[in-house]
Chains A and B, each alone.
Chain A
Amino acid sequence: MSTGAIIAGAAETNQIGKLPGYSTLGLHVEAALNAVGDAGLTFKDIDGIATVSAPGPVQVAHALGIVPRWMDGTGVGGTSFLLHVRHAAAAIAAGQASTVLITHGESGRSRVGAARFAMALSSPQGQFEVPYGMFGPTTAFTIPVLRYMKDYGLTHEQLAYVAVAQRRWAAKNPRAMFRDPITVDDVLASRMVAYPFHLLECCLVTDGGGALVVTSADRAGDFPKPAVHVLGAGESAETPLVSQMVDFTESQAMKLAGRDAFAEAGITTADVEHLMIYDAFAHLPIYGLEALGFVAKGEAGGFISDGHTEPGGSLPLNTNGGGLSYTHTGMYGMFAIQEGVRQIRGEAAAQVDGPRISVILGNGGMFATSGVLVLGRGDNR
């Protein structure tokens, strides 16, 4: 089974990291040029556009000379691009567009042409969270983990090991920002950001971008690169206020998005040979592995520290190094998709042995939203 869509083009900006010479829009433009070129197309072939605001689909389309007959400005955090792929697949199946360009660009580190973070003090979050010194992801995304640690026995060392395992993947990737090996002791000795999270358990803050070209699977042979089939997709939302999560030991949005994506693709966890879980912080791969059903509740920390997700392990996870070591512009979901595409095509820096199925799990906000994509070669069933 499949959504009927393929990813025909995929690329990141020429560089990622610290790029003070690019504005946010400039990063979108370069990513779009690279992805459309990767598909062997021009902007005149694009009739659908999707991205988050700011700058938004109207600005990006106009900058590129694209006249859209379909657009999607869904902006629900860093997972938005996974939702754009799902929405694009549906639009293509409905005949509303034939070839959709999805772009991401973010001057997350240098803040060139970037919007300033502001939270209205009359919003629910502004009234009931911000007054307590909650200030961005390091203070919100992190709050649930102590409850998980108490209820399921996750240790500080196991949490730290998530960063260690991902650094082992990053060491194989020349584009990763951090590549030097680290130990659990290094992680635990790094500066405390928000207890129990140390600096090395928090994602990078970088500049960069990426883009995708999505079209119909019946054109699978028409492009320079092997088609990456979008076999299934799912999305859901839980709460804009992290304090209002149903249960601090699990993400309802991850579970629901995963359920729909796996059902549409007709797969189980046993079919998955490559996995990306958006890791803004070290606990998210743990929550994601359990939400998708790869391990039972409470087992993910041990699964990772036993080596199953690192190079040589049975379930390659976050093989680009992840948000913890590769890059994290602020909306990392695009980079998780890019790595899934590279792995299915067989062109990743740390290439897994011929994966047929890659699953991408994205987070948005602070446990607010989730998206899941099941990608495959198309010859897997």
Chain B
Amino acid sequence: MAKPEPVPTPETQPFWDGCAAGELRLQRCLDCGDAYFYPRPVCPACGSTAVEWFTASGDATLYSYVINHRPAPGFEEDAPYAIAVVQLAEGPRMMTNVVGVPNTPEDLVLDMPLRVTFEQRGAISLPLFAPAGEAR
């Protein structure tokens, strides 16, 4: 069984288009300045619909994670693998996998600097994170 492949919706298509172009694109409110994720057409901080897309730096830190020993369908060969949440430099957080480093408690240190990288999965380019300086 293949790993699950995200199915974009009209609201999220620009995010996935960005990933395909090698960019991590987020939304930002033109009224209050709040940057947010996941993609949606209204600012969660103030309710404004005046929002824009921008390209994030791709810089992040490791906020939290678990190392999963009971793999999801498609992840059998990866287990145990870390499911992580990263703190993006621009403020929002997102779930991801951490690559380029063993997925062990010793190697995955909270607040370690990370940088976005992308992995092709079917028609989707999926954002992953690697230790800063090691991403391609």
Contact = CB atoms under 8 A, between A and B. Distances in A.
8 contacts: A131-B3, A131-B124, A131-B126, A147-B63, A150-B111, A243-B93, A244-B37, A244-B38
B68 to A, nearest CB: 5
A81 interface: no
A194 B83 CA distance: 9
A195 B65 CA distance: 8
A70 interface: no
Interface in A183-206: 191-197
Interface string B12-24: 1000000000000
Interface of A: 120-122, 124, 126-135, 138-139, 142-147, 150, 191-197, 241-244, 248
B132 interface: no
A191 to B, nearest CB: 8
Contact of B4 (A121, A196, A243): A121
B70 A243 contact: no
A144 B64 contact: yes
B82 to A, nearest CB: 8
Contacts of A244: 37-38, 93
Contact of A127 (B6, B65, B66): B6
B37 to A, nearest CB: 8
Given A134-B95, A147-B64, A194 B4 contact: no
B95 A132 contact: yes
Given A127-B7, A132-B95, A133-B97, A194 B69 contact: yes
Nearest to A121: B7
B6 A194 contact: no
Given A127-B12, A146-B66, A195-B80, A248 B85 contact: yes
B67 interface: yes
Nearest to A128: B38
Given A121-B4, A122-B7, A194 B67 contact: yes
B25 to A, nearest CB: 13
Contact of B6 (A121, A146, A243, A248): A121
Contacts of B78: 133
A128 B72 CA distance: 15
Which of B7, B66, B85, B96 has most chain A Cβ within 10 Å? Answer: B66
Contacts of A196: 66, 105
Contacts of B6: 121-122, 126-128, 130-131
Nearest to B12: A127
Given A138-B70, A194-B68, A195-B67, A146 B110 contact: yes
B36 to A, nearest CB: 9
A248 B38 CA distance: 17
Contacts of B72: 130, 133-135, 139
Nearest to A144: B64
Contact of A193 (B12, B69, B111): B69
Given A131-B6, A242-B95, 10 more contacts: A124-B38, A131-B121, A133-B81, A134-B95, A139-B66, A143-B85, A194-B68, A194-B69, A243-B95, A244-B37
B7 to A, nearest CB: 4
B94 interface: yes
The 3 closest A-B pairs by CB, nearest first: A135-B72, A195-B67, A147-B64
A133 B66 contact: no
Contacts of B110: 146-147, 150
A237 to B, nearest CB: 13
Given A193-B69, A194-B70, A195-B69, A128 B95 contact: yes
A131 B6 CA distance: 7
Contacts of A243: 85, 93-95
Which of B6, B37, B64, B124 has most chain A Cβ within 10 Å? Answer: B64
B83 A134 contact: yes
A143 B64 contact: yes
B121 A127 contact: no
A134 B81 CA distance: 10
B5 interface: yes
A143 B86 CA distance: 11
B33 interface: no
Given A127-B8, A143-B85, A133 B70 contact: no
A77 to B, nearest CB: 19
B63 to A, nearest CB: 6
Interface in B43-74: 63-74
A121 B78 CA distance: 21
